[in-house]
């Protein structure tokens, strides 16, 4: 296990360490993991405007369209974390654990600098978390995020394409 970066989450007043775990391999690629809170991200959904900070676009696209966070279980990572590895992170397989529940996910968006702990409304529901972007989520650093850069996500009947940071293909 190797510490890769420490991020102080702005406005949420916690520090999170992001680790690389060379013993947790998927398709020969190591996992990265951290504990964070869980802000609900509705970007890409038809109802993105219910969040005052919402956006119609997502960094990753599926079949030429933004990823719909209302129906796709996904997570958001800041650019600092995405740049930790030469492997492609957008579109990669992820797994999230909260209160003993584990759910598969995809890294579908790039979030703000120095903020860890964002998940799609769909993933929040699957984990038993209130999916309202204004009043829901989890305010404690109790959500375990794992992701495998370089391993394309295959979840919810969808095959995602690994997409370079800044590109909308997939």
Those residues whose C-beta lies under 8 Å from the C-beta of residue 82, and which sit 6 or more positions away, are 89, 90, 107, 110, 165
What local confidence, expressed as pLDDT, does residue 168 receive? 44
**How many CB atoms sit inside 10 A of residue 29's CB?**
18
What local confidence, expressed as pLDDT, does residue 166 receive? 59
CA distance 60 to 66: 6
Enumerate the β-bridge partners of residue 60: none
What local confidence, expressed as pLDDT, does residue 53 receive? 83
What local confidence, expressed as pLDDT, does residue 55 receive? 92
CA distance 116 to 14: 10
Q: Are 90 and 103 in contact (CB under 8 A)?
A: no
The maximal CA–CA distance of the chain, rounded, in angstroms, is 41
pLDDT more than 90, % of the chain: 79
What local confidence, expressed as pLDDT, does residue 42 receive? 95
Task: Give me the domains of the chain, ranges plus CATH numbers.
Answer: 2-159 (2.40.40.10)
Q: Are 163 and 108 in contact (CB under 8 A)?
A: no
3-class secondary structure, 80: helix
- What is the chain's Cα-based Rg? 14
Q: pLDDT tens per residue, the chain (170 residues)? A: 899 999 888 778 889 999 999 999 999 999 999 999 999 999 999 989 988 888 999 999 999 999 999 999 999 999 999 999 999 999 999 999 999 999 999 999 998 877 889 999 999 999 999 999 999 999 999 999 999 999 999 998 999 999 986 554 44
């Amino acid at each position: 296990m190797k510490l890769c970066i420490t991020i102080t989450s702005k406005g949420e007043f916690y520090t999170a360490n992001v680790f690389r775990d060379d013993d947790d391999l998927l398709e020969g690629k190591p996992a990265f993991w951290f504990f964070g809170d869980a802000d609900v991200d509705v970007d890409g959904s038809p109802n993105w405007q219910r969040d005052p900070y919402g956006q119609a676009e997502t960094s990753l696209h599926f079949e030429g369209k933004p990823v719909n966070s209302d129906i796709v279980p996904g997570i958001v990572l800041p650019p600092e974390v995405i740049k930790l590895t030469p492997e492609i992170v957008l579109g990669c397989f992820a797994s999230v654990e909260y209160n003993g529940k584990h759910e598969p996910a995809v890294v579908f968006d790039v979030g703000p600098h120095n903020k860890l702990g964002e998940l799609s409304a769909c993933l929040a529901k699957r984990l038993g978390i209130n999916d309202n972007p204004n009043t829901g989520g989890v305010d404690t650093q109790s959500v375990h995020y794992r992701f495998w850069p370089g391993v394309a996500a295959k979840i919810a009947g969808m095959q995602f394409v690994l997409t370079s940071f800044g590109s909308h293909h997939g």
